[in-house]
Structures are given as structure tokens and as C-alpha cells.
A and B are shown apart, each in its own frame.
Chain A
Amino acid sequence: MNWKTTFRKLTRIPLGFYTVLQQTLRKPVTVQYPEQTRPMVPRFRGRHHLKRYDNGLERCIGCALCAAACPADAIYVEAGENTNDARFSPGERYSQTYEINMLRCIFCGYCEDACPTNAIVLEPIEFPTGYSREAMIYTKSMLLESPPINVPATPQVTEPGKFDRSIVPFPPIDQQA
């Protein structure tokens, strides 16, 4: 063996140790999710939100098309009947139960595409985290967004004949100002 190369190799070892030491003094790159978050792109498909119309009625009509479209079978919908005295959404029916198992969900966004009223939207905030399986099943109260300011929540009392149709003459979400 050549002594010169051996010597050169031996000097490289302390250099490696020094590099590691330098790295130790640097700040870790880890992001402590969910306390810290990285900025997400506007169209990132994060957690689902159930939207409302401007008058506080829920967009979801309990049709369960999202559950049918879901490739992971993560959505469970049970519909209930609307009345004019206790109206949750326009039309005949609303979602009485709406559950998404966030552990099954693959965040593909097919539910968004399937929704006839643009009720379910995946938004780039609050990606779900939890310690137990139970905590990862999101119920309707967790998914439903709160009504706009100064607008009553559901159920509302509405005048007969005004909200008979499920698809109402409100502009869809992507055409709103």
C-alpha cells in the first residue's frame, strides 16, 4: 500500500467527523406537524369542508353521490327529510348523518367532482391528524363550515314554496365574487 494515499485517507476521517459536528449545530429541518405547517398551494386537496349558501342553508342535499364516487368507500351519508319549519338545505332532503373516515380517504377529490351542489370541497387547511381510529372519523358537525356572519344556522324556518328545488338559483361557488 502507498503510504501517501493512506495518509490522505486518514486525514479525511477527522474531516468527516467535523462535517457531522457542523451539521449537529444546525437547526433541524423537521416541520412539527400539526403545530407547524408548511405553506400549501391554493388548490391543495386537504380536509373536506361542507359548504353553505349565503343565507345559511347547507348545500349538501344528502344525495350520497359523493359516497358512490368515493373509490376508498370512506364516506357515509344518511339523508333526512326537510320541512318548511325545520329546513337544513334547499329541496326535499338534507344529510342527517355525514361521516368521512379520514384514515380511508385517499384525498382524490372525486367527491368534489360528483357533488351536484358543490357542497363538499377539499381545502388546503387542517389536514386531519389524530391519535385514535375513532378520532379520525369526521362527523358532520366537524365537517360543516359555520354560517356567514349575522345569518342563522340550520335548521331554519322558511316560507313555503321558496326552497322547493334542490338546485337553487344561487351561483355555484366558482362563479361567486
Chain B
Amino acid sequence: MSILLETILKAVMFVVLALAGFAYTTWIERRLISRMQSRIGPNRVGPQGLLQPVAEGLKLIFKESITPAQADKFVYMLAPMLAVIPALALFAVIPISNHSFFNLAGGVDTAVLYVLAILGTAVYGIALAGWSSNNKYATLGGLRAAAQVISYELAMSLALVAVVLMAGSASMNVIIEKQLPGNILGWFIFRQPIAAALFAITALAELARSPFDLVEAEQELTAGYMTEYGGMKFALFFMSEYVKMIALSGLFTVFFLGGWSGPFVGDSWPLGLVYFSIKVLLCLMVMVWVRATLPRFRYDKLMAFGWKRLLPIALANVVITAALIAFGVPGYK
């Protein structure tokens, strides 16, 4: 009984953290991208615009909820939930500090598989939203999302295979422990740079963020799969996107940046939490930086890049990593 209670408490804490993080990720993104474009960004609501997410949330809650007449009502209502739930579920396996209270299921032996499975289901919400809206832009957006996620999932899985090979386990706790030989060079980003680059690129594609944001390419598809959504249903899609951003930043941190590890972390969980947050924040900022810099891919080039470049590189990386480990090269044993 107490285990059940503890798990529920932890789960609630993770959801609250994810949602608070979502609100302020939007703020960080808007302020940062404004500075990159020589603008100021939202700074009127509250000090430095810090209450902007609250204002936007309130606005979206009070908006009228409209369902298009030709839409498939049931699926139309279901799709936003299908998009949010996997995004939040990803947090289950991310240990955000070294205390067991901040670790819901990071010790599960199938954690990496769980991540890949949940990321695969996350596209259902988007594809069904596009299809059920009965709008050509939405349908195209949903189709693109499905095709894109399938193509990039392969390369992402293979990048993670290299990580799992390095750690010798698919458990998040073990992956973090293997990156703790005392110095920063223990991080997998230095021992598996190709896998890290592959994961970063495919994560952007999974998130449908720039430069892979064909799913909601404004110039071609208005808002893609969420064209027909408004009010809280739109907010749920928005939430799923940003929560997934945080979750994938967290996963990158765990896989390649040593998770909560850092100097003097020892047994003090607040320090671990601080290190984890700093690393996640850096990942989020890099995502914004990428969005401010790179133009969008053309659709055929996106597919060619995924299948003809990333997949062979990822395969080669797995083979080389396996060979290095088999021959016991220092740093890989």
C-alpha cells in the first residue's frame, strides 16, 4: 500500500514538474528567440513577462470550444489526449536526481525500450488529429508526421543501441552510473559523439521542431494537424509538444550528459536536481538556437536524409561500437 501511495505521489510530482516546465519553456523559447532576432519578446505581463504563460493559459481556457461539422467527433476529441499522455509518460523513466524520490521507474531494465515505444505511440495523436479534422492541411500534416516519425525512429533506436552497448544495460540508472568514472570525459557525448549527434537530430525530427517542422509548416499547411483545433484542445497539443521537448532534453541529458551527475554531487539530491535542470535547460536553449538558425527541410530531402544518411551512419556506429567493446579498447570496456 505504501509503495502504491509513494508511486502515485511521485507520478503527481513528475506531472506537476512537467506542466510547470512546459509553461516556462514557452517563456524561455519566446524570450530567447526574440533576442536572437533582435527583438525583446513578451515583457509586459508581470516582471520580465514571467506571467505571460499564465495569461495565455487563461485565455485558452476561456475560449469557445469549436468542433468542425465534418469532423469525426470522437477521434477529434480523443486526439489531443493521445498526444499529451505519451509526452507525460516519457517522464516515468527519467531519473531527475539521485534520490529515489526523483526516480519513478529509471531502474527498470527496459527503460530505453519503453522510451522508444512511447515515442512511437506519440505520433498517433498527431496523425489522428490530422485525419479526424477533415481538413486537407490537417490531413497532410498528420501524414507527414507519421512518415517523418517512422523514418527517424529507426536512426534514433540505432543511436540508442550504441548507448545501451556502452552501458551494458537498458536501465537509466545503469546508464548514468556508467558515465561516472570521476571526470567529464565519462559522459557518453565524448565516448559516443556520433550517437549523440544522431540522437539530437532525430530528437528534433521526432519533436517536429525546426528544421524538421514540416508537420506544421506555416507557409504550406497553415498550422498542420492542429489547424482545426482551438481553445484547450489546441493547448493540449501545444503542451504535448513542449512537454516532449523537455522529456527529450531530459533523455539526452541522461544518455549523453551524465544525467544528474556533476562535481560534489555525492549523496545530496538537491545538487543532483540542480545539475539535471541546468543540463536540460542547456538542451532546450540549443533547440531554440537551432530553430533561430536553420531553415526548414524540403520534404523529399527530409526523407532522403533520414533513410540514406542517418540510418547507414547509425548502423555503422553500432557496428564500430560493438567492435570497440569486443576488442576492449580503453574507454569502451
Contact = CB atoms under 8 A, between A and B. Distances in A.
Contacts of A13: 294
Contacts of A19: 293
Interface of A is mostly: helix
B41 to A, nearest CB: 8
A28 B36 contact: no
Contacts of A16: 293-294
B39 interface: yes
A41 interface: no
B38 interface: yes
A158 to B, nearest CB: 49
Interface residues on B, range: 10 to 19
B292 interface: yes
B289 A23 contact: no
A20 B40 contact: no
A28 B37 CA distance: 8
Contacts of A20: 36, 289, 292-293
Interface in B96-142: none
Interface residues of A, number: 13
Interface string B303-314: 000000000000
B40 A28 contact: yes
Interface of B is mostly: helix
Contact of B39 (A17, A21, A30): A30
Interface in A20-40: 20-21, 23-24, 26, 28-30, 32
A26 B39 CA distance: 10
B67 interface: no
B289 A21 contact: yes
Contact of A23 (B37, B40, B294): B37
B34 interface: yes
B38 A29 contact: yes
A32 B40 contact: yes
B35 A28 contact: yes
B40 A17 contact: no
Interface of A: 13, 16-17, 19-21, 23-24, 26, 28-30, 32
Interface of B: 32, 34-40, 289, 292-294
18 contacts: A16-B293, A17-B293, A19-B293, A20-B36, A20-B292, A20-B293, A21-B289, A23-B37, A23-B38, A24-B32, A24-B35, A28-B34, A28-B35, A28-B39, A28-B40, A29-B39, A30-B40, A32-B40
